[in-house]
Amino acid sequence: MYSKILVPVDLEHLDKLSKALNTAIDIAKHYNAAICYLAITNTTPSAAAHNPEELTKKMAEFAEEQGKAHGVHASSKVVTTPDTAVELDKKLHQAVEETGVDLVVMASHPPGPGDRLHVLHSNAANLIKHTDISVFVVR
């Protein structure tokens, strides 16, 4: 049913992604699917990496560790943009197209005041509106 799964990852917040990561691994094992871990980053330094090249290396190491630890084929992709706040949805959609995945498994942020005030929007909902693949949102 699924052959390649895209999992957006923020290495700064892996502790908040464990349910989504485990869900993707379970689905990948069940369908013998590959996983592509995706990071979308700014060109400026962050807590995860000083530059996009360092993040690319760390993401490749993360994918390799996940693949070995869980017995799945795993790869990584890093997408760079000047402003993730503005272009995150666009870059996520482009990554879906470029990687040829047929499922996205992504974590949801916990609901809060920003949602009620319509300050925050759902990246998953936007992806669902603009692509024809399945999106599994894990809270």
Position 115 scores a pLDDT of 46
Mean pLDDT of the chain: 90
Contact 39, 11 (CB under 8 A): yes
**Structural tokens at position 67:** 């693949």
- The pLDDT tens digits of the residues spanning 76-99 come to 999 999 988 889 999 999 999 999
Position 45 scores a pLDDT of 82
- The pLDDT tens digits of the residues spanning 60-81 come to 999 999 999 999 999 999 999 9
User: Is 125 strand, coil or helix?
Assistant: helix
CATH number for the domain spanning 125: value is: 3.40.50.620
Cα 59 to Cα 46, 125, 135, distances in angstroms:
14, 25, 22
Convert 55-104 into a string of H (helix), E (strand) and C (coil): HHHHHHHHHHHHHHHHCCCEEEEEEECCCHHHHHHHHHHHHHHHHCCCEE
According to DSSP, residue 133 is labeled S
- pTM above 0.85? yes
Position 122 scores a pLDDT of 78
Contact 66, 59 (CB under 8 A): no
Confidence of residue 109 (pLDDT cuts 50, 70, 90): low
| 93 phi-psi bin (left φ>0, alpha ψ -120 to 50, beta other) | alpha
Structural domain range at position 130: 4-138
Confidence of residue 125 (pLDDT cuts 50, 70, 90): confident
Between 65 and 117, whose confidence is greater?
65
Could you give the number of structural domains in the chain? 1
User: In the predicted model, is pLDDT for residue 121 greater than 90?
Assistant: no
